[in-house]
Structure formats: C-alpha cells, structure tokens
Amino acid sequence: MTRLSVNLNKIAVLRNSRGGQLPDVLQAGITCLGAGAHGLTVHPRPDARHIRSDDVHALAALCSKRGVELNIEGNPFAPSRDGYPGLLALCKATRPAQVTLVPDGDGQLTSDHGFDFVRDGASLAPLIAAFKALGCRVSVFVDVGDPDVAMASALGADRVELFTGPYAHAYASGDAAVALSAASVTARCALASGLSVNAGHDLDQANLATFLSHVPHVREVSIGHALIGEALYSGLDATVRAYRHIVDSSATA
C-alpha cells in the first residue's frame, strides 16, 4: 500500500510571510492526520525560510503521540548556523521515523535534482550510517533515469525517493508515456538492489493515480505544494481525504 505523507512547508511559508503564528503549522499537522494522512513531512532549510527547528520539535511530538511517521528532509552536507543545528543534530533531537537526504543548496527555490552517487558516495556513506544509528530509516533523493541508482543500496540507504518533477511537467503537457516508463525502470532497478521506493515533487490530484498505476511498489508519496494549493479552494481536511482516496484506490487497482 502506498502511504501519504503531507509536506507542511507551504503552511510555514504563509506564516513567515506575515510573522506571528498564523497559519499554525502544528494545527495544520493535526488536521492532516485527522483527515487520514499516514504521516507528515517537513524540509527545514538552514535559512529557516519556512519550517523552523521549533516546528520540527512540535511536529515530532505530535507524530510520536499519534503513532505516525515524521519524515524530515534536508541536505546532510549543510553546516549548522544560528537557528539551524544541522540535519543530523536535528534528527538526533527529534528521532524521526525517516530522514530523506536531498542535495539542495541554500539558493535553490525547491529541490530539483537527485544525488550524484559517483561524486558524493564516499561522503554520503558515513552520514547515512550516522542517521541509521539514530534509528531513522534513510531515503535518498534520486533522479529518474539515474543509471547509478543501485549505488544507494551499497551506501547503506533503505529507500530512494524518485524526483517526480519531470513526470509532472510531462503529464501537464499531455504526453507522460516516456517519463512514466523511465520512472518505472528506475523504480525496478532500485527494487532489484534491495531498496524501497518513495516518490515526490509536483504530484497532484490530477497526475497521482496515473503515476501509481505505472510505477511499481511505491511505498510513500510526499506531497505538499499542490496539496496546500488545492486546499485553498477545497479546504485542508477535504483535500487530504481526496489524496487518501487516490492512494487507497491505487492499492486495489
């Protein structure tokens, strides 16, 4: 069964644009879980432009109380700074069920590429081991079509997260066949090496079912930007329930 993890970053963007505490990130998490989300995702960046370290602590406590998974995304190479202790230290303090390692720099608007395992593998391996020593499942962000995706297993990762931005753009243009085929091949390669498969980025209610019907054994989708945008029109509770219907239906399709 595919599980739905709701990314709350955009709630924090709205809050930070005005200051104060509204909209409330913790209340949004409570609403998402109440509507059936299997877990929550956050991507705290060193510049704290959306999710902050205090949000991570609050959401970790919520997820622990509810018995659901928290997934923390971040760049394991980014150094600590005021207000951001570093990804490893943050995970040590909050013990998320899953950490998703993403090679994004400070200047990136959003995550837009996976790791280069040939270049970064030697540096990644000890970090992956350090996160696993905390009890975290480790997923690494990968490009669809990466011929070295199986290296993630050799480095110690448990899962890969397929970067689905190119698929979403292809779907919107009306021709997703090539992108779907590439995603399926990459997923099968990962599975063959002993990795499980997650997916995320620009997935929405229009394209999600097609993706899940073509890409095998996707364990989790992490969805935030589109979901929060759709919730502006339909409400957060109703939108999360709509996504749950899609992922639940994919299990029986």
Catalytic pick from 38, 161, 201, 220? Answer: 201
The two three-digit tokens of residue 157, written as one number: 């990762």
Q: Report whether 78 contacts 86 (CB < 8 A).
A: yes
**From residue 226, how far is each of 65, 79, 202, 209, 223 by CA, in Å?**
27, 30, 7, 14, 7
> Active-site residue 220, yes or no?
no
Annotated catalytic residue 113: no
Rg (CA), the chain: 17
Q: Kindly name the residue from 43, 161, 220, 230 that is annotated as catalytic.
A: 43
Distance CA 183, CA 203 (A): 13
Could you give phi then psi for residue 14, rounded to 5 degrees? -65, -45
Give the contacts of 22 (CB within 8 A, at least 6 positions apart): 15
Question: Does the active-site annotation cover 73?
Answer: yes
Catalytic pick among 73, 161, 220, 230: 73
Residues labelled as active-site residues? 43, 73, 201
